[in-house]
Every structure is written in structure tokens, then in C-alpha cells.
Structure 1
Amino acid sequence: MRMSEANCLSTEKGSLWRDRNFMCLWMGQSVSEMGSSITNIILPLLAITTLSATPGEIGLLRAMASIAVLLASIPSGIYIDRFNKRSLMIACDFVRAAILVTVPLFAFYDQLSIYWLYAVSFLCSVFSVAFGIAYHSYYPIFVPREDLPEANSKIETTESAARVGGPGIGTFMAGWIGAPLTLLFDVVSYIASAVLLSFTKTDESSKVKVTKRPPLLQEIGEGFKLLYANSVLARTALTTIGSMFCLAMMNAVFLYYLISDLKISPQMVGIIFFIGEGGGLLAAILASALMRSVGSAKIMWWVVFLSPAGFLLGGAQSHPLLLPTLYLCLTSVRFVLFDIAQYSYRQSSCPLESLGKVTASIRTCIGVAAASGAIFGGWLGSVASPVASIFTATVLMCVSSLPVIFSALRHTRNIEDLPALTPLDR
């Protein structure tokens, strides 16, 4: 299909289903996300059940991924804006597959340790950062601005489907073939993603304004300057960063809490995640309709009121299946809908030639927040209790919602009505 034909199709209703570039990109992302979701549950499960890891060690394992985000985001965003995004994503897929396959190999030879899991988590996350920044900077090149909410909704739907299915599939496969071999599913998913990406064809240079690049430190500064160039973008970023700190605190101890404190089997943990994350999947499926009904900007304001969901876990000893499931459901709805809307606003308001560095700036801040949140959550879970860590995180998540609650989003219905960044802003 010629680019002119693709552009004509993209203006029609439902055109993304007929856009080969988007469909190949989306299918590759869907397969890869399912594999990654399985890995996200298997690595800590492997550490807890096989290596007898403590809450502090699980927190550090979670933190390694966030530290990678912190260290890799800015350089990745800047250099991704300079080079071909499609080629970089394909390379990242193959490298991640090569790194992850070492876990079953080391386990087979009885050489697996918590330290190697730290290394695998860190290295895979470094290349996932580069892939993610390139990915979210790539499809806005060929997806028109008015179709970005639909594109983000589709992407978030498959990400939510992966979060729903991944833990259940992962724990089932771990019981069947063992946790190390289960990771081979993710290895295959990365290879499949690379193959599907190779079928996307778009002229990146014709869509992105080419300018003389300033020095590296100047580009880093420009990314943060663009990020905080208007109040709404800054406030949504602050809430996102604060929320990720709190979510990392909860994630550091949640799986340990289910298995060690509530004595829930890994198979039942998979069911809890399957049902609980189903709320996020449903939210992603209905996101486009909800944003049309409520407003693509106003929905960001409403969903932050789901932040107190963590308090439900206070009664989990009496209801060990119901309340953790309900907590996961409400939390996933909150994050899915907020992310779809804020992604759409950022992508539509930032210049294409700077979107990579702006995304990298946010990911860097998220990396700081998530790494420190995971370490703090794991430490607090060890010295106090997992419940204390979860309750503290819930209080802080409510506080982190205040920038959005007291923003212009209260009075704005759609993201099209919010200010876009202009050369003067920059």
C-alpha cells in the first residue's frame, strides 16, 4: 500500500484496522506484551519459591527494572530521535530474547542465583526502555492526531489483555513445565515481535522535521523544558510519576503478601490476577467510548478518585480472594484509563521531532520514582509488614492525585481543547 493510500484510509472510520503499518506494529506489541507479562510474574515467583527470596530481595528485583528505566531513558530518547526507530525496535527484540534465554540455561545447570535474576531484570529493562520510547514515538508518525486516542486504546487493550492473561498462563505453565522453561514463551514472543515489525514500512524522515541537533546535554534540558512547558502536561506528569512510586511500593510486596502471608497457592494467585486485571482489560476495551461520553480530558480527572483502592487489602485476612481481586480490578481501571488519556494528550501536543525526548524525560522521572518506590516498599515490608507498605503507598497515591484534581482538567472535556506545545513554548 502506498503512503498516500494509507493516509486516505486513516481518515476513515475504523481505518486503523486496514492500516498495515499499525496492524503489524500492534500485533507484534500484543505478542511481546503477553510474553513480558508472563516474565513479570515468573521472575519474582521463581525468586520466592526456588531461591527463597525475602521481601527486600523481591523489592530489589523489582527495582532493577526501574533503575534501568532511570539510566536508559534520556539517552534512549535522544538517540532514538536521531535514528531509525523501526530498526532499533527490531534489534531490541532480538537482544532481549538472547538475554532472557539464559535463565532456563542457568537453571538447567543449577547455576541460577538471585544476582543473575537482578542482572536479567536490569538488562532486559534497558532494552525494553529503548523499545518502548521508540514504539510510542513511531506510530504517531503514520497515525493521524485525531486517531491517536483510538490507537492508544487498542494498544492499551492488548496490554491489559496481557496483564490479565499473563499471570494465569504463567503460573499454569510454571506448574506444568517449571518456571524457568516458562520464560521461553517470552523469548519466542520477542522473536515474533521482531518479525512482525519487519513488515512495517513508513518513511520516518518525511514525517519528522529534520533539524541540526544540539549537544546532548542541551537536548536533555529541552526534553524536560518541553515536559513542563504547560501546566496540564506538567500536572499529569507529576501525578503519573507519583502514582508509579506508590504502585512500585505495592508491587514490591503484593505477590509476597499473597503467597507468604495469605498462603495462597501460585495457581490461585494466577486466578486473582486474571480476574482482577480483567477490570483493566474491560476499561481498555471501553476506553474510546468512555472518552467520547465523559471526555478524553475529563476522564483523567475522574479516575484518580480510585486511588484509595489499596485500603481494601486491610481486610484481606478475612477475604483473601475477594479483596485482593477487587483491589487489582480498581487499580488497573484507574491506571489504564489515565494512561490512555495522558498518552494521547502528550502525543498530540508535542512536536514529532521532540516526542522521543519528552517521553524519555517522563520515563526517567518514572524510573527514579519506581526504583525508589520498589526499594522503599520492599524495605518497609521487611522491617514492618507488607500491609504497612501497601497502606503507606495508598496514602501517598491519594496525595499524588492532587496535581490533577486541582488542574484545568476539572473544566476541560477533551484533549483537543487543551493547549499544544508550540515553538514559543520551546
Structure 2
Amino acid sequence: MWRDGDFRRLWVGQTVSQLGEHTTLVVLPLFAVLTLDAGAGQLGVLRAVGQAPILLLSLFVGAWVDRWRARTVMVLTDVGRALALGAAAVAGLLGWLGLPALFVVAFAVGALSVFFDVAYQASLVRLVKRDQLVERNSALEGSRSAAQIGGPALGGALVSLLSAPVAAASSALFFALSFLSIRRIRRSEALPKGPERPPRVWRRIHEGLRFVVGDASLRTVCLASAAFQFSLAAVMTVYLLFLPRELHLSGTAVGLALAATGPGALLGSVLAARLPRRFGHGAVLVSAAVLGDGVFLCVPALHGSSAVTLAALLAVNFVFGTGGQLVNVTVMAVRQAVTPDGMQGRAAATITFVGMGLTPLGSLLGGLLAEEWGLRTSLLVTAAGMLLSPLLMALSPLARLGRALPSPAGPATEPRTP
């Protein structure tokens, strides 16, 4: 796998880009609190501004990326994020940066990250053979998991040891390194032929939505993702209250329990490169989802803050991370395999938009249930809700997928321009 120089460059670029992205998620809030004395409400607005591009831009980005070279999109977004964070660092060191400007930086970094994430998913299909998708996705998702584990810790350490502006400059350096790696990709992307005048963006978005809805496997991926993300948002709202208030765990113990998800995700990435080819993609998807989601049903049965309780929580989060990442990698490979090249960006963006769009409502529901029913009952109900995702997959064509990935559903409907 690593003899493929272009994939290696993509992997390196995506890895350091993800590390920069997850470091920034900690650096910017700490910048606001420590340097600009932001209050809790202002900090909440900052986080919301950084997350807003997922809902506001995902569908448009999917339509645009399908017309452009993925490599070009990735290098431009890396440059943009490096410049935005570099400017914030300089302004912070000079005392010129205020909260409104930091909001602009957060939105810009979030928006450019949406472009990068959609483009790198589309780029893999254009770089590797379809029978290599699971293996290569496993490598990419493994590095993303490592970034999710190490990025926040690194961001906090940089702010503590140096300063918030210097930490922002360090985040900009990661994006600069990603740019240097991805720009060295030499393999040209095959651009399908199409009409000279491409349709307008709204029509392209509609075609992406219609394509996902019209394909049984992608439609199920979309619905299962929405069900999972909605339920997970509700679960996590209750879970983060349940651990300290019902189990009386310290902040350190809570952080340790949650951190176990990361190593589990790394294991899931490794297993995703092997299990689908041995047992079939459908069997792996359904069983991993049942195991990873169902394990949370054990948490409401725990009592007290003993070492046994903490060990059980570590095991629960580890299994959840393993199952969840195994599903993520396998689903991504299936989605890429059944989607024509000219629809890759829109398919990824549509699933992201629908899947993540319900998370605010899930969080609100979790808080409401916790107030009305109590933490233990609410956690049991919301955890049970996560099993709707594997149920949807089990009743769909996804469950019948074999060891080989399916073929694309049809020809690309749109051209991509350089």
C-alpha cells in the first residue's frame, strides 16, 4: 500500500490536516477564553459559528467538488486555513484580535474544512482501484482517529506551554505541511466527459439528493446515519451528566473513560481492512453496528465510582469506538464503490448533511428527557434508540452485501472541470 507514492502523499496530507483541524477545535476556544476573556455564552457562539458550515455549506460543497479536481480543492483549502490561523496568531500577538474577528476565523476554518473533508473522500476514488477502497479507507480513517485522539491534547498543551496565539500559529503550520504533501500528488484525475455547460448548482444539488434517495444502499446509509447521529447526540447529552452526577466520577475519570473511544477506533480501522473481505461487507456492517451501539445499554446498570465501574466504562467506550469505526470505514467504502465518479462529492455531502443535521435536535431531546425522566431512564431510552441504525441496515440491501464491493450504480451525470 505504501509503495503507491500518490496515496502516501494523500495519507500524509490528510493526516496532518486532520491533526491541524482537531488541534484548532481546542486552540480557538482557549484563545477566546484565555486571551480575550470570553464568557460562557460567547464561547458557545464561537463553537456554533465554527460548526455552522456543516449545515450551511455541505450540499453546495458536494456539488462544487464534483466539478473540480479534488487535489486543487485540498491544496487551496489548506492554504486558506493556514492563512486564516496565521493572521489570527499575528493579530493576537499584537493585541489587535477581538471576538468578532475570531468568529470570522472560526467560520472560515470550519467552511474550508468542509471543502477539504468532502474533497479528500472524493479524491480516494480517483486515485485507487475500487478493490482497494476498504484497505485505503482503513488507513485514512485510522489516521483521522489518531488525530481525534492527539489533536485536542496537543492543542491544550500548546496553549499551556506557549500561548494561544503561538498555538494558533502551530495549527497553521499543520495545514501548511498538508499543502506541501498533497500538492506533490502527480497522478492526474480522470474527468468524465459531459455537457459543455454544466447545470446550475441548485440542479446539481437536486441531482445529488435524487441519486442518494434513488439508490437503496445509499438511501439506507443516509437514514441509518441520521438515526445514529440523532440518537448519539441525545445519548451524549445524558451521558456527560450521568457520569459525574449518578456515578460520582471525577473530571479525570470522565476524561479517561471517554478517551478509550480513540484506541477502539484505531482497532476498528485495522479490522475494517480485513473483516469485510472475510465475512462479507453486509455481515460486518450490521454486526459491528449492533455491538458498538448496543454496548451503551450496559451503562445504566452501573452504580458507584469504584474501579470496577471505571473499568466497565473503559470497556464500553472501547467497544463503542471499535464498532463505530468499523462501520464508518465499511460504509465509506461501500458508498464510494456504488457512486459514479461524477457524483462522489455530492453523495458524501448529502449523507453528511442529513446525518449531522439532526444532531442539535438530538441534544435538545436528551436534555429534555433527562429533566423529565431522570438520568438513568433517559440514558437507557436514548441508548436503545441507537439500535435503530443497525435495524435499518439489517432490513436493507446493505445486509446482503458480500465479500466484494458492489459496482457503481450508473454513469456520472456531470462533468468536472479542472
Partners in 2 of 1:100 and 1:32 — Cα distance?
Answer: 13
Q: Are the aligned partners of 1:47 and 1:53 in contact in 2 as well (CA < 8 Å)?
A: no
Query: CA–CA distance in 1 between the matches of 2:25 and 2:199?
Result: 38
| Paired residue secondary structure (1:39) | helix
Question: Counterparts of 2:53 and 2:321 in 1: how far apart (Å)?
Answer: 23
Q: Structure 1 residues 424 and 120, CA, compared in 2 at 3 Å: closer, same or farther?
A: closer
> Structure 1 counterpart of 2:251, which letter?
I
The alignment's C-alpha RMSD in Å is 3.7
- Aligned match of 1:4: none
1:331 aligns with 2:326: no
1:1-46 per-residue CA deviation (whole Å, 9 max, x = no partner) reads xxxxxxxxxxxxxxx3122211111101111212222333455667
State the one-letter code of the partner of 1:342. Answer: V
Query: Bigger shift: 190-199 or 406-415?
Result: 406-415
Q: More displaced, 330-339 or 372-381? A: 372-381
Q: 1:369 to 1:105 in 2, by over 3 A?
A: farther
2:59 is the alignment partner of 1:74? yes
- CA distance 1:176–1:263, change in 2 (3 Å): farther
CA apart distance, 1:327: 3.8
- Shifted more, 299-308 versus 389-398: the winner is 389-398
AA paired with 1:145?
R
Equivalent of residue 305 in structure 2, options 311, 315, 318: 318
Alpha-carbon shift at residue 137 of structure 1 (Å): 1.0
1:270-285 aligned at under 5 Å gives the runs: 271-285=256-270
1:349 aligns with 2:338: yes
* Residues 368-407 of structure 1 aligned to structure 2 (within 5 Å): 368-374=357-363, 393-407=382-396
Q: Which secondary structure does the structure 2 equivalent of 1:247 belong to?
A: helix
**Which blocks of at least 5 consecutive residues in structure 1 are unaligned?**
1-15
Alignment partners' CA distance in 2, 1:250 and 1:172 = 29
Asked whether 1:239 is paired with 2:224, we answer yes
- The whole-number CA distance in structure 2 between the counterparts of 1:177 and 1:386 is 40
Cα offset for 1:102?
5.7
How many residue pairs align between the two structures? 404
Cα displacement (A) at 1:146: 0.8
Indicate conservation of the 8 Å contact 2:58/2:352, yes or no.
yes
Question: Against the structure 1 CA distance between its residues 311 and 173, is the aligned structure 2 distance closer, same or farther, given a 3 Å change threshold?
Answer: farther
**Once the two structures are superposed, what CA deviation does each residue of 1:169-202 show, in whole Å capped at 9, x if it has no partner?**
3444444335664444322111110111110123
Partner in structure 2 of residue 422 of structure 1: 410
Q: Structure 2 vs 1, CA of residues 198 and 425 (structure 1 numbering), >3 Å: closer, same or farther?
A: closer
Deviation per residue, 1:300-321 (Å, 9 max, x gap): 1111112134445544752574
| SS at 1:87 equivalent | helix
- Please tell me whether the aligned partners of residues 303 and 337 of structure 1 are also in contact (alpha carbons under 8 angstroms): yes
Confirm or deny: 8 A CA contact 1:64 1:371 kept in the other structure: no
2:147 corresponds to which of 158, 162, 179: 162
**Structure 1 residue aligned with 2:293:** 307
- Which of 291, 295, 299 is matched with 2:280 structurally? 295
1:53 aligned to 19, 22, 40, which one? 40
Aligned match of 1:8 = none
CA distance in 2, matches of 1:45, 1:327: 30
What residue in structure 2 maps to residue 340 of structure 1? 329
The superposition leaves residues 393-418 of structure 1 with CA deviations (integer Å, 9 ceiling, x where unpaired) of: 423322233211222333433353x4
Distance 1:39 1:85 in 2: 23
Post-superposition shift, 1:359? 1.5
Is 1:152 the equivalent of 2:140? Answer: no
Q: Closer, same or farther in 2 for the Cα pair 1:392/1:83, shift >3 Å? A: same
Q: Which runs of 5+ in 2 are unaligned?
A: none
Distance (Å, rounded) in 1 between the aligned partners of 2:102 and 2:49: 9
Deviations 1:192-223 (A, max 9, x none): 1011111012322x343444422322211110
CA distance in structure 1 between the aligned counterparts of 2:372 and 2:27, rounded to whole angstroms: 25
Q: Give the 3-state SS of the residue equivalent to 2:25 in structure 1.
A: helix
CA distance in 1, matches of 2:241, 2:47: 12
- Deviation digits for residues 228-269 of structure 1, max 9, x if unmatched? 22222211221112222333445567678878974414xx66
- Structure 2 counterpart of 1:24: 9
Name 1:361's counterpart in structure 2: 350
Q: TM-score when scaled to structure 2?
A: 0.82
Q: Is the 8 A contact 2:289 2:389 kept in 1?
A: no
Contact 1:70 1:364 in 2 (8 A): yes
User: How far, CA to CA, are the matches of 1:424 and 1:25 in structure 2?
Assistant: 24
Q: Identity of counterpart residues, as a percentage?
A: 25
The separation in 1 between residues aligned to 2:263 and 2:29, in whole angstroms, is: 21
Between the aligned partners of 1:38 and 1:19, the Cα distance in structure 2 is 28
Task: Flag the 1:62–1:413 CA change in 2: closer, same or farther, 3 A.
Answer: farther
Aligned-pair distance for 1:120? 4.2
Q: Identify which range, 374-383 or 119-128, moves more after superposition.
A: 374-383
1:264 and 2:264 aligned: no
Mapped contact 1:76–1:133 kept (Cα < 8 A) = yes
Aligned-partner residue type, residue 422 of structure 1: G
* SS class of match (1:401): helix
Paired position in structure 2 for 1:208: 192
Instruction: Give the 3-state SS of the residue equivalent to 1:135 in structure 2.
Output: helix
Given the alignment, which residue of 206, 210, 215 partners 1:221? 206
Partners of 1:378 and 1:190 in 2: how far apart?
Answer: 36
- The answer to whether 1:40 aligns with 2:25 is yes
Evaluate the alpha carbon distance shift between residue 181 and residue 392 of structure 1 in structure 2; reply closer, same or farther with a 3 A threshold: farther
User: Does structure 1 conserve the Cα–Cα contact (< 8 Å) formed by 2:276 and 2:284?
Assistant: yes
Separation in structure 2 between the aligned mates of residue 379 and residue 93 of structure 1, nearest angstrom: 40
Q: Shift in Å at residue 351 of structure 1?
A: 0.9
Alpha-carbon separation, structure 1, partners of 2:192 and 2:238: 43
CA distances 1:243-298 after superposition (whole Å, capped 9, x unpaired): 22333445567678878974414xx6665454431011111123212222222232
